[in-house]
C-alpha cells in the first residue's frame, strides 16, 4: 500500500526522470532534499531549472527553434584575448534570437530571448539559453534595474556587443551542457567553435 501523499511525489519524480533530468525532488519518505542536479544551485532552483529544461527540450532541434521565430544572430562566439578579461574561457556558441521575446520586455523562463547552439559534426547542438533585458536608463554606471531569474542576478549592465544593441543585462543558463564553473557563468570551456 502506498502511503498518503507519496503517490503524487512518486509521479512527479517519475515525470522528472522521464524527461531526462536528474531528480532533484524530495526523496520519497525520507524528508531530505536530494542533491541539486545543477552546479552551484539549491535543490529548489534545480527543480525550476529541470522544469525549464523539459519545456525547452523541443529546441534541441534547431528547425523547431527557427519555426518558432528564433533566427541566427551571431557567428559562433568563443573567448579570445580581446574578450572579457574576467571570463573563464571557452565558448558560447551561435546565438539564435527571438525578436518577439526580445520585444515583449518579459522574463519568462520557458521563453528565453536567446537560444545558443554549438556547431557539431551532426549539426547545431543546443547548449544554453540566454535571458536578456535592456537597461532602463542605458547607463553602465547604475544597476537599480538589475533583473534576476532562478534566484540569480543577471550579469551587467554592459555595453551592447554589436552596433545598435543597447546597454543590457543578460543571464546564461547552461541547461543542456555541463558547465564546470557553474550553471550561470557566461563562457563554457566545454563549448568550441569549429
Please name the residue that has the C-alpha cell 554549438. 118
Determine the pLDDT at residue 37. 67
Determine the pLDDT at residue 28. 31
The residue extents of the domains of the chain are 1-35, 56-173
User: How far is residue 26's CA from residue 29's CA, in Å, rounded to a whole number?
Assistant: 8
Long-range contacts, stretch 35-42, CB < 8 angstroms, 24+ apart: 38/183, 39/178, 39/179, 39/180, 39/181, 39/182, 39/183, 40/182, 40/183, 40/184, 41/150, 41/151, 41/183, 42/151
Determine the pLDDT at residue 8. 37
Burial category of 177 from C-beta neighbours within 10 Å (exposed 0-12, middle 13-18, buried 19 and up): middle
Determine the pLDDT at residue 36. 57
Written as tens digits, the pLDDT of the chain (194 aa) is 334 443 333 333 223 222 333 333 323 333 334 455 687 788 999 999 999 999 999 999 999 999 999 999 999 998 764 444 444 568 899 999 999 999 999 999 999 999 999 999 999 999 999 999 999 999 999 999 999 999 999 999 999 988 889 999 999 999 998 877 789 988 888 888 87
Determine the pLDDT at residue 38. 80
Burial category of 152 from C-beta neighbours within 10 Å (exposed 0-12, middle 13-18, buried 19 and up): middle
Task: Identify whether the C-beta of residue 161 lies closer than 8 Å to the C-beta of residue 168.
Answer: no
Phi and psi, residue 77, nearest 5°: -90, 125
Task: Identify whether the C-beta of residue 89 lies closer than 8 Å to the C-beta of residue 187.
Answer: yes
- Per DSSP, 1 falls in state -
Determine the pLDDT at residue 30. 35
User: How far is residue 45's CA from residue 150's CA, in Å, rounded to a whole number?
Assistant: 6
Amino acid at each position: 500500500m502506498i502511503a498518503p501523499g507519496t503517490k503524487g511525489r512518486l509521479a512527479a519524480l517519475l515525470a522528472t526522470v522521464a524527461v531526462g533530468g536528474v531528480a532533484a525532488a524530495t526523496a520519497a519518505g525520507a524528508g531530505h532534499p536530494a542533491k541539486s542536479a545543477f552546479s552551484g544551485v539549491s535543490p529548489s532552483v534545480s527543480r525550476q531549472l529541470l522544469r525549464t529544461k523539459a519545456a525547452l527540450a523541443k529546441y534541441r532541434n534547431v528547425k523547431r527553434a527557427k519555426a518558432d521565430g528564433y533566427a541566427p544572430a551571431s557567428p559562433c562566439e568563443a573567448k579570445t584575448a580581446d574578450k572579457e578579461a574576467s571570463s573563464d574561457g571557452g565558448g558560447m556558441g551561435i546565438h539564435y534570437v527571438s525578436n518577439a521575446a526580445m520585444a515583449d520586455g518579459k522574463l519568462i523562463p520557458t521563453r528565453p530571448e536567446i537560444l545558443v547552439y554549438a556547431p557539431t559534426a551532426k549539426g547545431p547542438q543546443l547548449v544554453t539559453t540566454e535571458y536578456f533585458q535592456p537597461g532602463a536608463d542605458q547607463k553602465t554606471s547604475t544597476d537599480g534595474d538589475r533583473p534576476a531569474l532562478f534566484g540569480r542576478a543577471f550579469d551587467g549592465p554592459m555595453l551592447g556587443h554589436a552596433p545598435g544593441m543597447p546597454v543590457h543585462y543578460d543571464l546564461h543558463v547552461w541547461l543542456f551542457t555541463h558547465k564546470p564553473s557553474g550553471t550561470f557563468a557566461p563562457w563554457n570551456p566545454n563549448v568550441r567553435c569549429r
